[in-house]
Amino acid sequence: MDRQTAVENAKALVAQMTVEEAASQLRYDAPAIERLGVKEYNWWNEALHGIARAGIATSFPQAIGIGAAFDPELTQELGDVAATEARAKYNAVSAHGDRDIYKGLTFWSPNINIFRDPRWGRGHETYGEDPYLTAEQGKAYVRGLQGEGKGDVMKAAACAKHFAVHSGPEGDRHRFNAVASPKDMEETYLPAFEALVKESKVEAVMGAYNRTNGEPCCGHSELMVKTLRGKWGFEGHFVSDCWAISDFHQYHHVTDTPEESAALAIKNGCDVNCGNTYIYLMKAYEMGLVSRRISAPPPSTCSPPATCWAKCRAASTTRSPIPWWSAKSTLPRRMKPASRAACCSRTMVCCP
């Protein structure tokens, strides 16, 4: 089955779902819809250097070691072995109705972040510091995992993560704002993702925990809408890192509630939530924050209100010795703008 046929079949199936049923399928632990013959499915699985966390499997050297081999052909073979074992495991467990976590065919690998500072703490998961080598190794692993389209069958689904500029510090990843110039974005942090999307047709992209240039990466209009879907023509699905959407209101403070966070993420094209924020989608729907038919905002026209709010905070020049979010701290921070309405009116065009 080719992608276009699969898309049409999926649209026909979703059209038969109630709003509640459709919303439930956007969770990583999607429940069964028995009346439509939809089985439960858990999207979370790992295969960074071989199948992980689900019994015995072949384990290859960590990704940093694979990168050091400078051998994309070997990397593709490793991906193919992992996919073969994945299919065997999936066939075995699903035959017994076991569709639990780490039992599916959607693998959140490879990690194509750029590793240039050992203090990050997770550099061993990457292919190293070079954008070109990372792209070549990443493309090869994706080709191995997904197969090369023989008979229009995807062997397993790969995922390019973490989009984007997720290179530490690890301890602050849930609240950190990575500031990168357009030059650094184009030369360092985005080339591998672009290559995997355009050249190896990676099925999924995972957003990072951090903010990048003021916007949270799992609700980022510039990265997700304009670049990934618009400029690069990505046709796969976007998944949040685990519990990253809850960071919007808990740590990044770009939204105030779980409902607002869920709305911001899905409006910018986050298809699957690893975490529990999308359980608030129905409440967001009832509040009018999202509709049954959701589409991303047109590029270059307006920004979601929560995004305006985040950028306004980042751009504020008024400073105070006591930040608004912590009365105990003595470090200088930007003061809270008076209101969201005032923020949007003076900084950019906000979507209604």
pLDDT for 159: 98
pLDDT for 305: 56
The Cα 189–Cα 163 span in angstroms is: 9
| Residues 289 and 260 sit within 8 Å (Cβ to Cβ) | yes
| Residues 60 and 47 sit within 8 Å (Cβ to Cβ) | no
The Cα 270–Cα 216 span in angstroms is: 12
pLDDT for 352: 43
pLDDT for 145: 98
Classify burial at 96, counting beta carbons within 10 Å of its beta carbon; exposed 0-12, middle 13-18, buried 19 or more: exposed
Sequence-distant (≥ 6) Cβ neighbours of residue 48 within 8 angstroms? 62, 63, 109, 110, 111, 125
Place of tokens 């399928």: 25
pLDDT in tens, 22-77: 999 999 999 999 999 999 999 999 999 999 998 999 999 999 999 999 999 999 99
Which residues carry out catalysis? 241
The Cα 95–Cα 198 span in angstroms is: 35
In this prediction, the residues of the chain whose per-residue pLDDT falls under 70 are 149-151, 294-352
Domain definitions of the chain by residue range = 18-300, 302-352
pLDDT for 152: 74
pLDDT for 306: 57
* Beta-carbon-side half-sphere exposure of residue 220 (alpha carbons within 13 Å): 30
pLDDT for 318: 34
pLDDT for 207: 98
Question: Domain 18-300: which CATH class?
Answer: alpha beta
| Residues 114 and 188 sit within 8 Å (Cβ to Cβ) | yes
- Provide the 8-state DSSP code for 150: G
pLDDT for 300: 45
The Cα 344–Cα 351 span in angstroms is: 9
